[in-house]
Amino acid sequence: MHDTLKPCTGGAFGRRTWLKLGIGGLAGGSFPGLLGLVQQARAADAAANPRRRSPANCILIWMDGGPTHIEMFDPKPDAPAEMRGEFVPISTNVPGIQVCEHLPRLAKIADKYAIIRSVHHNQGNHGAGNHYMMTGAPPRIPVGCGAYVSFHPSMGSVAAHERSAPHGLPGYFSLPGMTRSGGPNFLGAAYAPFVVSDDPNGKDFRVRDLALPRGLDETRFLARRDLRSLVDTLPRIDDPAAADPVKALDGYYEQGYRLVMTPEAQKAFQIEQEPDAVRDAYGRDPFGQRLLLARRLVEAGVPFVTINDGGWDHHADIFGALRKRLPGWDNSVAALIEDLDTRGLLEDTMVIALGEFGRTPKLSTLPGQSKAGRDHWSSAMSILFAGAGTPGGQVIGATDRLGHAPVDRPLSPENFVSTVYTKLGIDPGKHFITPAGRPAFLVSDPTPIRELMG
């Protein structure tokens, strides 16, 4: 049991608070001292129990491969050259906070987001690290780097299960593909992400299967649907312990029907309706336009959208690769945060950027390579976290001078995932009964990161 002040009702303190208060009051031996302790307890309760907010939506930018913390949000200018690298830190608009020189737009809006520098774990390969950070549950067995594993439901699938989107929209999208561990596991196929693989930066962007084929009007479409239902007489398995692929297929068909026939759902994908100035601000490339599409989806009420942004596994030529990549990435992410803020959506929308782990503090050159890179490093990583009441302009935790490991406020993937669930309006301590009849907790440690709660 954690030694924290628990939420209370009716303005009363919890039992532990009163115990502390009583002991302190007796020890103090005076009524003024007791009043002082009451004030301290109230302040502690207010910090531990932030005000309730409406459930937020989430745009998760998944930086697949493991982005370097040192070259982005945790620079180490005082480290030796073989560790600090080639980039220099720059000041942000918040005194005392620095980021990489190639993140100038994000540096100008640091008051709108928080940086977590102290999340760490022990899963140093892609498959396992992805699973841990996407689900809040470590893998049950050793998992290889290239594995696509789902021992536990992903945050997006849980969001789709616990919340719904209006107008027939799915509750969970993943662009342009599903992440390694972005699936629903025991929740069932109905809560897998709706994948939009098409490039919204394309001239004729059109989400496949979301429009009636040419020559097929609505009446004929509905008639074909009825005919399919008449012909399909396969029995459905109602046993909750059995996964029936036919029922799952039924769910996909129903989802497709709703999307095709609902104008409000179709409108969310009509990115061409955005003014050119807005599209230009996000960046006219696949990543920027997918962030814009994600904004449109949460604006339409979708609770969870993942942008699967690959290519962050920089074992070689890390500086050359990031000189090309970071400026555009910086521009697009900053544009998303600013656009949400301008529209009044940031208050109810999380924007999170992270990968499965960080990179090794010491540079190395692989055999056959001429330019240095950094390898996998799960002992330290950085996470950008904005929106949904998150107090901006703060850094949570710290790593040592060389970036090896947290030396202040060490946090776990469970803490991170519990924070996301709490802001989504989902109890991270909730448990499900799997089809096999076993209880499964969402997160083993449902303690959110208090500094992010607002």
Cβ contact 308:179 at 8 Å: yes
Look-up of token digits 């001292």: 33
Spatial separation of the C-alpha atoms in residues 293 and 265, rounded to whole Å: 13
Q: Is the pLDDT of residue 393 over 60?
A: yes
8/116 same-domain check: no
Look-up of token digits 């100008």: 108
405/448 same-domain check: yes
192/255 same-domain check: no
* pTM, rounded to two decimals: 0.82
The span from the first CA to the last CA of the chain, in angstroms, equals 23
Spatial separation of the C-alpha atoms in residues 150 and 270, rounded to whole Å: 32
Number of H helices, E strands in the chain: 13, 16
Q: Is the pLDDT of residue 2 over 60?
A: no
Domain boundary among the residues 262, 293, 308 is at: 262
143/247 same-domain check: no
Q: Token digits for 316? A: 């070689």
Worst-scoring range by mean pLDDT, 44-48, 207-211, 308-312, 445-449?
A: 44-48
129/61 same-domain check: yes
Domains contained in the chain, number: 3
Domain boundary among the residues 220, 247, 262 is at: 262
DSSP reduced 3-state for 447? coil
Cβ contact 67:61 at 8 Å: no
Q: How confident is residue 223, by pLDDT bands cut at 50, 70 and 90?
A: low
pLDDT, position 20: 40
152/232 same-domain check: no
162/303 same-domain check: yes
221/331 same-domain check: no
pLDDT one-digit tens code per residue, 126-142: 999 999 999 999 988 87
| R_g over Cα of the chain | 24
- Interval 424-448 mean pLDDT: 95
pLDDT, position 247: 54
Respond yes or no on whether the N-terminal peptide bond of residue 176 is cis (omega within 30° of 0): yes
Domain boundary among the residues 49, 68, 85 is at: 49
160/95 same-domain check: yes
Q: Token digits for 212? A: 């009636």
Cβ contact 1:446 at 8 Å: no
Q: Which domain holds residue 242?
A: 208-262
> What is the side-by-side strand order in the sheet with 57-63?
194-195, 172-175, 304-309, 57-63, 349-354, 381-386, 113-119, 394-396
**DSSP letters along 40-96, please?**
HHHHHHHHHSPPP-PPPEEEEEEETT---STTTTS--TTS-HHHH-S--EEE-SSTT
Angle (CA) 153 158 163, round 5°: 165
Phi, psi values for residue 115, rounded to 5°: -115, 125
The pLDDT mean for the chain works out to: 85
- Interval 52-81 mean pLDDT: 96
pLDDT, position 27: 39
Worst-scoring range by mean pLDDT, 47-51, 100-104, 105-109, 174-178?
A: 47-51
Q: What percent of the chain has pLDDT over 70?
A: 77
pLDDT, position 53: 78
State the number of CA atoms in the 13 A half-sphere of 403 facing the CB.
29
193/213 same-domain check: no
Angle (CA) 365 369 375, round 5°: 40
Q: How confident is residue 320, by pLDDT bands cut at 50, 70 and 90?
A: very high
Q: How confident is residue 215, by pLDDT bands cut at 50, 70 and 90?
A: low
360/286 same-domain check: yes
pLDDT one-digit tens code per residue, 69-112: 999 999 999 999 999 999 999 999 999 999 999 999 999 999 99
Q: Token digits for 71? A: 């070259």
Residue 369, beta-bridge partner list:
none
Q: Which residue has the higher pLDDT, 203 or 41?
A: 203
The amino acid at 245:
P
219/320 same-domain check: no
Q: In terms of Cα–Cα distance, which of 433, 164, 399, 409 is closest to 304?
A: 164
Spatial separation of the C-alpha atoms in residues 100 and 75, rounded to whole Å: 7
Give the CATH number, domain containing residue 313.
3.40.720
Q: How confident is residue 229, by pLDDT bands cut at 50, 70 and 90?
A: low
Q: Give CA separation, 298 vs 10, 150, 172, 198, 259, in Å.
A: 35, 25, 10, 18, 16
Burial class (CB within 10 angstroms; exposed 0-12, middle 13-18, buried 19+) of 393: middle
Cβ contact 197:176 at 8 Å: yes
Q: How confident is residue 265, by pLDDT bands cut at 50, 70 and 90?
A: confident
